[in-house]
Amino acid sequence: MSAMLEVKNIQVGYGKIIAVKDVSVTVNKGEIVTLIGSNGAGKSTTLRTISGLIKPRSGEILFNGKRIDGIPGHEIVGLGICHSPEGRRIFPRMTVKENLELGAFLRNNKGEVAADLDRVLTLFPRLKERIEQRAGTMSGGEQQMLAVSRALMGAPQLLLLDEPSMGLAPVLVEMIFETIAKIRQQGITILLIEQNANAALEIADRAYVLESGVVKISGTAKELRADDKVTKAYLGH
């Protein structure tokens, strides 16, 4: 197994607030790895740092063995890291199609992009029906599908998903998780943040539990599901 992403002891802050104190995460090729933890634990900040939206104050991030911390955010996606951010952040005044095209902003091979468009629309048939609709007028679930699809349009090796099930009806949550499993089968490695720890541990290979900006527990998903502390605090058993 080779490490695709190695986050080593990063510290990240906003002004005086230190959001991530010391986080190390490794994601191997082909895995689904999940970050769980309560609100404000520093999960989103960790993903934003990987994507280059914020610079870490210390520590390093390696992608396929090369350091990527310090590379400007808009160049990260070109390396093969695509990020579906917290709160969806689709472009509300653009159509579904335009949103998806923006996901492929850096790609020049029109044929490949068209093939990927077909692929995501097969994955989310609902979006196909809405293709000319303005994204801001869609339901929360549809917007979430669009956010994930838009990230897929960047042809990622590594897909970062920040709470893709947030605010969705239970049926849709299930559907999103099934889709995540399908995406992995297509050969894409996934780093997933979830509030819904149960569902995340179902599909993940390994997991990290974050608390107040540090990694508290880590291990295989199976180990964590059996861990008393984890089940009490996060799985609600």
Ligand X SMILES: Nc1ncnc2c1ncn2[C@@H]1O[C@H](COP(=O)(O)OP(=O)(O)O)[C@@H](O)[C@H]1O
Question: CB within 8 A of 108, min separation 6: which ones?
Answer: none
Question: In whole angstroms, what is the distance from residue 162 CA to residue 87 CA?
Answer: 8
* Residue 88 binding result from ligand X, Mg ion, another protein, none, given CB thresholds of 5 to 8 Å by partner type: another protein
Q: What mask of x and - would describe binding to another protein in positions 36 to 65, judged by CB under 8 A?
A: ---------------xxx------------
Nearer to Mg ion, 86 or 227 (CB): 86
70 binds another protein (CB under 8 A): no
Nearest CA-CA partner of 73 in 100, 105, 96, 26: 105
Sheet arrangement for strand 206-211: 66-67, 58-63, 3-14, 17-28, 214-220, 206-211, 32-36, 189-193, 158-162, 81-84
Summary count for the chain: helices (H), strands (E): 10, 10
Question: In whole angstroms, what is the distance from residue 67 CA to residue 13 CA?
Answer: 20
Task: Name the one range near another protein by CB under 8 A: 4-12, 33-41, 103-111, 193-201.
Answer: 103-111
* Residue 206 binding result from Mg ion, ligand X, another protein, none, given CB thresholds of 5 to 8 Å by partner type: none
Question: CB within 8 A of 77, min separation 6: which ones?
Answer: 51, 83, 105, 106, 154
45 binds ligand X (CB under 6 A): yes
Closest distance to another protein from the beta carbon of 78 (Å): 6
Considering only residues 132 through 151, tell me which ones interact with another protein, judged by CB under 8 A: 136-137, 150-151
Among 86, 98, 101, 223, binds Mg ion (CB under 5 A): 86
Question: CB within 8 A of 214, min separation 6: which ones?
Answer: 21, 22, 23, 42
In the structure encoding, which two tokens stand for residue 8, read together?
């080593």
Task: Name the one range near another protein by CB under 8 A: 28-36, 56-64, 83-91, 178-186.
Answer: 83-91
* Residue 14 binding result from Mg ion, ligand X, another protein, none, given CB thresholds of 5 to 8 Å by partner type: ligand X
Q: What mask of x and - would describe binding to Mg ion in positions 31 to 70, judged by CB under 5 A?
A: -------------x--------------------------
Among 1, 2, 39, 186, binds ligand X (CB under 6 A): 39
In the structure encoding, which two tokens stand for residue 179, read together?
């889709």
b/e code 180-199 from CB counts within 10 Å (16+ = b):
beebbeeebbbbbbbebbeb
Binding site for ligand X (CB under 6 A): 14, 17, 19, 37, 39-45
Binding site for another protein (CB under 8 A): 51-53, 72-75, 77-78, 82-83, 85, 87-94, 98, 101-103, 105-106, 136-137, 150-151, 154
